[in-house]
A and B are shown apart, each in its own frame.
Chain A
């Protein structure tokens, strides 16, 4: 596709339910990132995939959060037993490869509201 695609664009879920957020990066991009954007917290790094290397999970806030990337392309971020503090915009981004010469491109985000 022309850009990073994320789905769903909006999700309202009840506290305690599990949610899955999907990211389809730009074709050929080997690096994929997940960030969380919430009021007052800025852009919080969650997880980073680069090719076949082990992902950098250092930003995941708790063990309720997990992500996978199948076949080096599509990624799914899963939040188990959602809490109200999980409400935020979840942004996915991709780049051709990591490093200073490569711009990262963001999707439009998935707005998650936990009620």
Chain B
């Protein structure tokens, strides 16, 4: 079974400070991992995916299969990063996308 855990429901950091949103997963095969973001009054949208190994808006995430984690990181938080962040997992093949419970990130000025 696919399972995604985001242990922090709320995270608050000051502008300019580093931020890390935690995500752990459970899946027996090779997963595809994603981070989705929902800004205030906007649709949920893809932020990044692990297979792309990309940095979007200064955020990066590395898949650690040993620790079954896919934490989202940014070295210097900005106020516009305040949003709801969801970690998601898709199994091999034509599998549904399963989300974690989300972390609400607030960046304080």
- Centre residue among B32, B49, B94 by max chain A CB count within 10 A: B94
Determine if B25 is an interface residue (Cβ-Cβ < 8 Å).
no
- Interchain nearest-CB distance for A38 vs B (Å): 10
Determine if A27 is an interface residue (Cβ-Cβ < 8 Å).
no
Query: Which of B16-24, B40-48, B72-80 lies at the interface?
Result: B40-48
Chain B residues numbered 13-64 whose CB sits less than 8 Å from any CB in chain A: 32, 43-46, 49, 51
A residues less than 8 Å from B96 (CB atoms):
33, 45, 48, 56, 59, 98
The answer to whether B46 and A42 touch across the interface, beta carbons within 8 angstroms, is no
Query: Residues 14-43 of chain A: 1 if any B CB is under 8 Å from the residue's CB, otherwise 0?
Result: 000000000000000001010100001111
Known: A106-B44, A106-B45. A100 touches B86 (CB 8 A): no
Chain B residues numbered 91-108 whose CB sits less than 8 Å from any CB in chain A: 93-102
Query: Residues 39-71 of chain A: 1 if any B CB is under 8 Å from the residue's CB, otherwise 0?
Result: 011111100101001001001000000000000
The answer to whether B97 and A100 touch across the interface, beta carbons within 8 angstroms, is no
Partner of A42 from the list B94, B95, B102 (CB cut-off 8 Å) is B102
Counted as pairs of residues, one from A and one from B, with CB atoms less than 8 Å apart, the total is 55
The answer to whether B32 and A100 touch across the interface, beta carbons within 8 angstroms, is yes
* CA of A33 to CA of B36, assembled, Å: 15
Known: A100-B49, A100-B51. A43 touches B86 (CB 8 A): yes
What are 24 residue pairs bridging A and B, where the CB atoms are less than 8 Å apart in the complex? Answer: A3-B43, A33-B97, A35-B99, A40-B101, A42-B86, A42-B102, A43-B99, A43-B100, A43-B102, A45-B96, A45-B98, A45-B99, A48-B96, A50-B94, A53-B94, A59-B96, A93-B44, A98-B90, A98-B95, A99-B93, A100-B32, A100-B51, A104-B97, A106-B44
